[in-house]
Amino acid sequence: MKKGYVLAGIVLAASNGPIAAEPSTQVAWTPETLAFVRNGDAEKGKKIAESCEACHAATPENAESEFPYLQGQTATYLYKQLHDYKSGSRSNEIMVGISAGLSDQDMADVSAWYSRQPPPPAKKADEIPDTIGKLVDRGDGARIVAPCAVCHGRAGESQVLDTPVLAAQKAAYLEQTMLAYKSEARHNDIYRRMRLIVQQLSDEEIKQLARYYAGLER
């Protein structure tokens, strides 16, 4: 059975019935959309990215900022997030304003540029509880929590086109993102899958998962 079907079954079970449709995103991954994103012009995207680096540069000076690294992220994930900001599916005062000035082609181009950049350096945690590795690999059947690796990979490399690479991302950003899903402040996850999962986790588990993925080399 394919991993996507496993996750879908877990999500459906966790919801205790059919999931109502909701406007979590306006991006439909048709073959045409996938080809459009994958054919983004990275050189044109480089010029757009010059205005993004103040917040997203993978530099020591930016290591403690609240903004995520974008380098080495999948183009499909970046494109979806930019599109979601523009459509209102995801909210952030800064990014909503920036995305408003981008065309779909701009989004594809800048996503292509960042996807081809070297990944940021990992920040390995001193110690991660064994229970966190079990959540990543096996999940928790008692709580109907899917393994993180189903979508994100054991190495945080991303297994599904609309899920992010997590390896070497800032732990603080990963933690705040999961907490935003838990509180439903963020809701652009398709079929509520992230919300359903993290709402079963303790805040300490979320913190340790963030530290685990931030420490993975790419």
Within 8 A by CB and 6+ apart from 103, the residues are none
User: What is the pTM (predicted TM-score) of this model?
Assistant: 0.88
Residue 5 has pLDDT above 60, yes or no: no
Within 8 A by CB and 6+ apart from 161, the residues are 29, 34, 74, 76, 77
Which pLDDT score is estimated for 22? 54
Closest CA to 98 of 106, 89, 58: 106
Rounded Cα distance between 148 and 37, Å, is 25
Closest CA to 41 of 116, 107, 112, 118: 112
Rounded Cα distance between 98 and 115, Å, is 19
Tokens representing residue 94 in the block: 């800064």
Query: Residue 131 corresponds to which amino acid?
Result: T
Averaged pLDDT, 123-128: 89
Which pLDDT score is estimated for 6? 43
What is the rounded (10 degree) CA torsion for 27, 12, 20, 31?
20
Percent of the chain with pLDDT over 70: 89
Which pLDDT score is estimated for 19? 42
At 66-98, the pLDDT tens digits run 999 999 999 999 999 999 999 999 999 999 999
Q: CB pairs under 8 A, 24+ apart, for 28-37?
A: 29/76, 29/161, 29/162, 34/76, 34/161, 36/104, 36/108, 37/75, 37/76, 37/79, 37/108, 37/111, 37/112
